[in-house]
Amino acid sequence: MFSRYKKPTGEPVAPVQRPAPAQGAAKPAAQPAPSASAPPPAAKLATQPASRPPQQPAQAAPADRDKKRKERLSDIKVELHKRLLDTLNLAALEHAAESELRAEIAAIASEALEEMSVVLNREERATLIQDLYHEVTGLGPLETLLKDDEISDILINGPHNIFVEKKGKLTQSDVTFKDEKHLLRIIDKIVSAVGRRVDESNPYVDARLADGSRFNAMVPPVAVDGSLVSIRKFKKDKLGIRDLMSFGAFSEDMAEYLEAAVACRLNVIVSGGTGSGKTTTLNALSSFIDNSERILTIEDTAELQLQQVHVGRMESKPPNVEGKGAVTQRDCLRNALRMRPDRIIVGETRGEEVIDMLQAMNTGHDGSMTTIHANSARDGISRLENMVAMAGIEMPLKAVRSQIASAVNLIVQASRLQDGSRRMVSITEITGMEGDVISMQELFRFQRLGLEPDGKIIGKFTATGVRSHYSTRFKQWGYDLPASIFEPSVSL
Ligand SMILES: Nc1ncnc2c1ncn2[C@@H]1O[C@H](COP(=O)(O)OP(=O)(O)OP(=O)(O)O)[C@@H](O)[C@H]1O
Ligand SMILES: [Mg+2]
- Tell me whether residue 101 is exposed, middle or buried, using C-beta atoms within 10 angstroms of its C-beta: 0 to 12, 13 to 18, 19 or more: middle
| 171 lies in some domain | yes
d(CA 459, CA 447): 5
Same domain, 120 and 73: yes
Q: Final residue of a domain: which of 199, 214, 232? A: 232
Looking at residue 44, its pLDDT comes to: 37
How many structural domains does the chain have?
3
Ligand 1 near 464 CB (within 6 A) = no
Q: Are residues 175 and 129 in the same domain?
A: no
pLDDT of residue 15: 39
User: pLDDT tens, 324-339?
Assistant: 889 999 999 999 999 9
Same domain, 108 and 170: no
Q: Nearest residue CA, atom 23 of ligand 1?
A: 275
Mutating to test ligand 1, I would choose from 230, 245, 280 the residue with most ligand atoms within 8 A of its C-beta, which is 280
Specify whether 258 is located in the same domain as 296: yes
pLDDT at 487: 93
pLDDT at 492: 67
Tell me what pLDDT residue 489 has. 85
Q: Hey, what's the torsion of the CAs at 159, 160, 166, 168, to 10 degrees?
A: -90
Q: How far is residue 367's CA from residue 344's CA, in Å, rounded to a whole number? A: 8
Both 122 and 195 in a single domain?
no
Q: Does 310 lie in the same domain as 247?
A: yes
The pLDDT, as a whole number, for residue 72 is 78
pTM of the shown model = 0.73
- Ligand 1 centroid to Cα of residue 280, in Å, is 5
192 and 69 within one domain: no
The edge-to-edge listing of strands for the beta sheet with 214-218 is 169-172, 162-166, 151-157, 228-232, 214-218, 204-208
The answer as to whether 30 is a domain residue is: no
**Considering the domain boundaries, does residue 34 fall inside one?**
no
Is the CB of 286 within 6 Å of ligand 1? Answer: no
**Domain boundary residue, one of 112, 137, 162:** 137
From atom 11 of ligand 1, which residue's Cα is the shortest distance away? Answer: 277
Cα separation of 450 and 314, whole Å?
44
Q: At what angle do helices 329-336 and 353-362 cross, to 10 degrees?
A: 20
**Cβ-count burial of 96 within 10 angstroms (0-12 exposed, 13-18 middle, 19+ buried)?**
middle
Residues of the chain with pLDDT under 50: 1-57
Domain stops at, among 187, 202, 232? 232
Q: Are residues 88 and 146 in the same domain?
A: no
Same domain, 250 and 331: yes
> Which pLDDT value is given to residue 77?
77
Q: Are residues 399 and 316 in the same domain?
A: yes
Put the strands of the sheet holding 311-315 in their side by side order.
311-315, 295-299, 343-346, 369-373, 268-272, 410-416, 422-434, 437-451, 457-463
Does residue 29 belong to any structural domain of this protein?
no
* 206: containing domain: 142-232
Q: For residue 423, is it within any domain?
A: yes
Q: Work out which ligand 1 atom sits closest to the CA atom of 153.
A: 29
Residue 248 sits in the same domain as residue 228 = no
Whether 405 maps to a domain, the answer reads: yes
pLDDT value, residue 91: 58
Residue 459: CATH number of its domain: 3.40.50.300
∠ CA(186), CA(277), CA(368), 5° rounding? 110
Does one domain contain both 389 and 368?
yes
Distance (Å, whole) CA 101 – CA 90:
11
Hey, whose CA ends up nearest to atom 4 of ligand 1?
Answer: 422
Q: In the prediction, which pLDDT does 43 show?
A: 37
Write the CATH number for 208.
Answer: 3.30.450.370
